[in-house]
Structure 1
Amino acid sequence: MFLYKILKQRSGIVLGICLAAAGCKLPAAVQQTENKSVPVSYENSVDTTNTGYIPWKNFFTDANLVKLIDTAIKNNQELLITLQEIEIARNDIRVRKGALLPSVGVTAGAGVEKVGRYTSQGAGDATTEIEPGKEMPDPLGDFTIAARANWEVDIWKKLRNATKAAVTRYLSTMEGKNFVITNLIAEVANSYYELIALDNQLAIVKQNISLQKNALDIVKAQKDAARATELAVKKFEAEVLKSQSLEFDILQKIREAENKINFLLGRYPQTIVRDQSSFMLALPPSVNAGIPSQLLANRPDIKQAELDLTAAKLDVKVARAEFYPSFEISAAFGLQAFKPSYLVKMPESILYSLAGDLAAPLINRNALKAEFATANAKQLQAMYNYERTILNAYLEVSNQLSNISNLEKSYDLKSKQVNALTSSIDISTDLFRNARADYLEVLMTQRDALEAKLELIETKKQQLGAVVDVYRSLGGGWK
């Protein structure tokens, strides 16, 4: 009876201390609301039609490009790495959910103990009889088979909030995968258009070499007729050699562009099947940007940043709950005896226990305060990252829409420039053949025409690339 009163008194003291600790003033959480506001429109357009909602297989019409993208989605190593991050996040959910349930285990043990005879335990064992005429064995064995369970009661929702945070981060990794797919599709498409542009530039250079060789033959003939000098011949020869050198530079770029695509497709170098014949006639698909608020729902990186922010807020709640008392229940049930044969003698060999522990941090709480401050700081980081991601998305779309408009005007002007310079080649050649133009005029005309044609192809590539980039910026490709 006296022992019971002592235990009851101590339990009351412990409970009082824990409740007092729970009532202590806790650090305040940072209370800030993220800014989700975006401009109402792009360039005063309120049309809600959005190209980003179009599936990528419908957006890209080149059959060869569609096959390349499909292969990249299956084999790209970066995407496969991201899929493993999803698996890791899924396993973390299982770990967090397991913490909500009791942990149950089975134990089996054997041991032996020899205590001094002139101790309270030794003296007690010496006078104890198991059965009439049979003393307690010395040394004393200990054999146990028992089931044990421990369970932390989630009073303050600490474990449930940790589980919610894990689920949110799992959803975040899913959006991360979608963002990788969006960027992968855009990168494959841009690399494909770059490769075809290089093919067309190579064809232009070869045509120019043929023209330059014809002009060189004319100069040589005029030299033989004493109508031109050796200087003119050497100038034309140098121009032919320059163009031939440019041809090999482009061939190297073609090889690198092919290997870049093969890398994105997760395979070793091989020829990229493509159709270069219609490149200059290809018209960039029309783009409808919709309204900026659609970015919040369609861009995977924005949704990922939002989910990361939600998880960070839950982490703050978990860190705050660490200051409160934790309540754990432990139980055990099994058999215990000093001889194996006595384990089956019941109820004497039965053991059981049931206990509840209430504990709270009281003295040294600096580590908990530091963890709480860290959780608050990470929450602010996540909020700023979310706002930055929204701002970046809007600016990307705005830049690409402007780029598409300016490239269209630039392409029209360059086309007229190429037509004018192409006509001037024939004119300068005829004038030179009739000794009415200097050979330098022929050289400069051919050089200007070559540069203009190469620039025209580059502009066409930039046009197609700008459309791909705005499709990516609108969140297109992952659906």
Structure 2
Amino acid sequence: MYKKIIYKCLGVASIALIFSACKTPNLVGKKANTDVPGSYNNSQDTTNTAKVSWKDYFTDPNLNALIETALENNQELNITLQEIQIARNEVKVKKGEYLPFVNIKAGAGFDKPGRYTSQGALEANNDIKPGTEFPDPLPDYLVGVNATWEIDIWHKLRNAKKAALKRYLATVEGKNFMVTNLISELANSYYELLALDNQLDIINQNIEIQSNALKIVKLQKEATRVTELAVRKFNAELLHTKSLQYETQQKIIQTENQINFLVGRFPQTVSRSSKVFSDLVPNTIHSGIPSQLLENRPDIKQAELQLTAAKLDVKVAKARFYPALAISADIAFQAFNPAFLIKAPESLLLSLAGDLAAPLINKNAIKAAYSSANAKQIQAVYNYERAILNAYIEVSNQLSNINNLEKSYDLKENQVEALTQSVTISNQLFNSARADYMEVLLTQRDALEAKFELVETKKQQMNAMVNVYRALGGGWN
């Protein structure tokens, strides 16, 4: 009769447990919007520069050698590779959680109960053999195997493993994005170094021109054709140009060291081809169509994988509301004397148990974890959408930049040619007393600035070529 009552109570409790556990809070989710414009400039050409290997995109052998070294030695990249290894191990951890855990165990100890306790009195009055009491104290020896297994009814553990796998793949895409950024940063620094070399050449040429002009002005002062003021002005301009020389030399050293840092080596001279800088022509860019960004950009694929992992996390958090079934089993040999330990079946110990448990009261922590997982999922949606929007804007900006820089370079080239001729003309006029020294100085300064700007525009052209390659998702493959 009592057994029936107990069974009925257990049945009612189990049903109440399941129904109570299956009630989960209603949360509002969000779906990612992956729509992008159909084209960048009304072109439907699907040819995409991002598919070109960096070895073919960059043709300077010195730059390519630097990139090769950086991909092998860059510390930040190698740190990321270790993060990938950590994420890979996390997948193995999660995979092992839904498989049975089997442990081998061995132990030894002793127990001495008080004689005037129920256990002590029992041991004193029950002989193992006639005339022999239980040992006092009572040793305990055990050797056996224990197994535990949580049955993954609601796929909580499998979804956790899948989430870990998605995060591992996201770290791989993160590494690819780092490779793309590393290549672009290295290429930009290399072209900046070439530009500084050319600016230094321009400064040296101007120093020579201004030094000759100063000699002429000094002779003219001796001939009383100009005053000491003209000499001082020409000398001041020469000193200003010489100060630019040292400033540019320092910039060259810093840029070289930035390149050395990226390739993972101590400061040394960077091999380069500075003489051909003015003849460099940016590569022809094929932007393809915007939808290809979802395939080519590693940061977009990383955000997508993180979103998938976040969705799986929500499922894992939701499964914690449901009953969990665990099975445990033991098989062992246990005896108070090592001599009896291998005697079966007397010393054989067997156990098998099932455990069904679910949260019933005070589920605030589980509800909070579920709500947080959902919030992180929505956060991942916004991050994914932001990555897509950012990629499109980057490509759009760089395509426009390439077009405008091409027009600007042509105009600055004509400006430099005109000012170079003006320097010659102003010197001739000054020598024939038809122009004052201020006109000569201003013309020389304008010509120097125009040449600097021309070199700077060429550098910006090459940087735009690098940046659009990165924006399209090129370099990592």
1:398 matched residue in structure 2: 396
2:296 matched residue in structure 1: 298
1:221: Cα distance to partner? 1.3
1:362 matched residue in structure 2: 360
2:157 matched residue in structure 1: 159
In 2, are the aligned partners of 1:18 and 1:358 still within 8 Å (CA)? no
Question: 1:164-198: CA deviations, max 9, x gaps?
Answer: 00000000000000000000000000000000000
Matched, 1:329 2:295: no
1:203 matched residue in structure 2: 201
Residue correspondences, number: 477
2:20 matched residue in structure 1: 21
The equivalences for 1:130-141 within 5 A come to: 130-141=128-139
2:430 matched residue in structure 1: 432
Percent of aligned pairs with the same residue? 63
Question: 1:337-382: CA deviations, max 9, x gaps?
Answer: 1111111221100001000000001111001011111101110110
The 10-residue stretch of structure 1 (104-113 or 310-319) with the greater mean CA deviation from structure 2: 104-113
Match of 2:473 among 472, 475, 479: 475
1:7: Cα distance to partner? 6.7
1:436: Cα distance to partner? 1.2
1:387: Cα distance to partner? 0.2
Separation of aligned partners in 2, 1:42 and 1:77: 36
1:118: Cα distance to partner? 3.7
Secondary structure of the 1:344 match is coil
Letter aligned with residue 438 of structure 1: D
1:11: Cα distance to partner? 4.6
1:214: Cα distance to partner? 1.1
1:82 matched residue in structure 2: 80
In 1, are the aligned partners of 2:327 and 2:354 still within 8 Å (CA)? yes
Question: 1:307-359: CA deviations, max 9, x gaps?
Answer: 00000000000000011111000000010111111112211000010000000
Separation of aligned partners in 2, 1:5 and 1:335: 35
Secondary structure of the 1:105 match is strand
2:187 matched residue in structure 1: 189
CA RMSD of aligned residues (A): 1.5
Letter aligned with residue 21 of structure 1: S
Question: 1:56-86: CA deviations, max 9, x gaps?
Answer: 0000000000000111111111101110110
1:315 matched residue in structure 2: 313
The equivalences for 1:87-236 within 5 A come to: 87-236=85-234
Separation of aligned partners in 2, 1:350 and 1:196: 82
2:46 matched residue in structure 1: 48
1:5: Cα distance to partner? 6.0
Question: 1:9-50: CA deviations, max 9, x gaps?
Answer: 565355334323333x21124332100000000021111111
2:369 matched residue in structure 1: 371
The 10-residue stretch of structure 1 (317-326 or 109-118) with the greater mean CA deviation from structure 2: 109-118
Matched, 1:413 2:414: no
Matched, 1:65 2:57: no
Scaled by the length of structure 1, the TM-score of the pair is 0.97
Matched, 1:261 2:243: no
Separation of aligned partners in 2, 1:344 and 1:223: 118
2:459 matched residue in structure 1: 461
Counterparts in 2 of 1:5 and 1:135: CA distance versus 1, 3 Å: farther
Question: Unaligned regions of 5+ residues in structure 1, if any?
Answer: none
Separation of aligned partners in 1, 2:284 and 2:133: 99
1:12 matched residue in structure 2: 11
Question: Unaligned regions of 5+ residues in structure 2, if any?
Answer: none
In 2, are the aligned partners of 1:29 and 1:316 still within 8 Å (CA)? no
In 2, are the aligned partners of 1:182 and 1:472 still within 8 Å (CA)? yes
Separation of aligned partners in 2, 1:116 and 1:170: 58
Letter aligned with residue 449 of structure 1: A
Question: 1:250-300: CA deviations, max 9, x gaps?
Answer: 001000100100111111100000011110011011111110000000000
2:341 matched residue in structure 1: 343
Secondary structure of the 1:135 match is coil
Question: 1:75-108: CA deviations, max 9, x gaps?
Answer: 1111011101101100101110110111111111
In 2, are the aligned partners of 1:143 and 1:336 still within 8 Å (CA)? yes
In 1, are the aligned partners of 2:324 and 2:356 still within 8 Å (CA)? yes
